Amino acid sequence: MRIHRDPIHGRQYSGDVVMWQRLWRVAVALALLAQFAVLGEAPAWAAPAMLARFFGVPVSVWLVVLAYGGLVMLSWFCLRDSASASPRDQV
């Protein structure tokens, strides 16, 4: 099994962990894209539509806000993520 080493903390991650981390990021990105894809016709269960009903803010504005929120969350996930180590750090 391929082992990835975080040179800062000295932790070691298996290839499976790295793969799940990457899949998680892709899932978050796809969720964001899906939010954009539905645009103004979000189904009632979608977060922007619920927020729009609750606060009286248009769905499209919430979509942009959620895009920003999602990207900020994504950056926090990446902070402690071994997969962002350069190829030279991988053992």
Partner 1 sequence: MSAAPILYFFVTIAVTLLITAWAAQAGSSRESLYAASSRLSGMQNGLALAGDTMSAGTILGIVGLYLVAGVDVAYFSVPSMAGFCLLLIFIVKPLRQLGRYTLGDVVASRFVDPRLRIVLGVCVVTVSLIYLVAQLVGAGALISLVFGLKFNVAVTIVGVLMAVYVSFGGMLAASWVQIIKAVLLIAMVGLLAALALRMSGGLGDLYVKAAARLAAKPSVFAFGTLDLSLFSSVSLLVTGVLGTIGMPHVLIRFFTVPDAQTAKQSMVIATTLIGAVMIMIILVIGPATLAFDSDIQGFRDSTGAVVGGPNMVAMHLVRFLGGDVLFGTMSAVIFATILAVVAGLTVAISSATSHDLVAAIRARPLGEKAEVVVFRVVAAACSAVAVGLAIVFQNHNLSFLLVMASSVAGSTTFPLLVLAIYWPRLTAEGAIACGVVGLVVSVGLIVLGPACWVQVLGFVEPVFPSDHPVLVSTPLAFAAGWLVSRQQSRSTMTTSRSAV
Cβ atoms of residues 14 and 3 within 8 Å = yes
Cβ atoms of residues 66 and 58 within 8 Å = no
Other CB atoms closer than 10 Å to residue 62's CB: what's the count?
21
Q: How far is the CB of 87 from partner 1 (least distance, A)?
A: 6
Nearest 5 degrees, angle CA 84-CA 29-CA 24? Answer: 55
- Chosen residue from 35, 65, 90, 91 binding partner 1 by CB under 8 A: 65
Q: How many residues bind partner 1 (CB under 8 A)?
A: 32
- Chosen residue from 5, 17, 25, 47 binding partner 1 by CB under 8 A: 25
Which residue ranges make up the site for partner 1 (CB under 8 A)? 7-8, 25, 39-40, 55-58, 60-61, 63-65, 67-69, 71-72, 74-76, 78-79, 81, 83-89
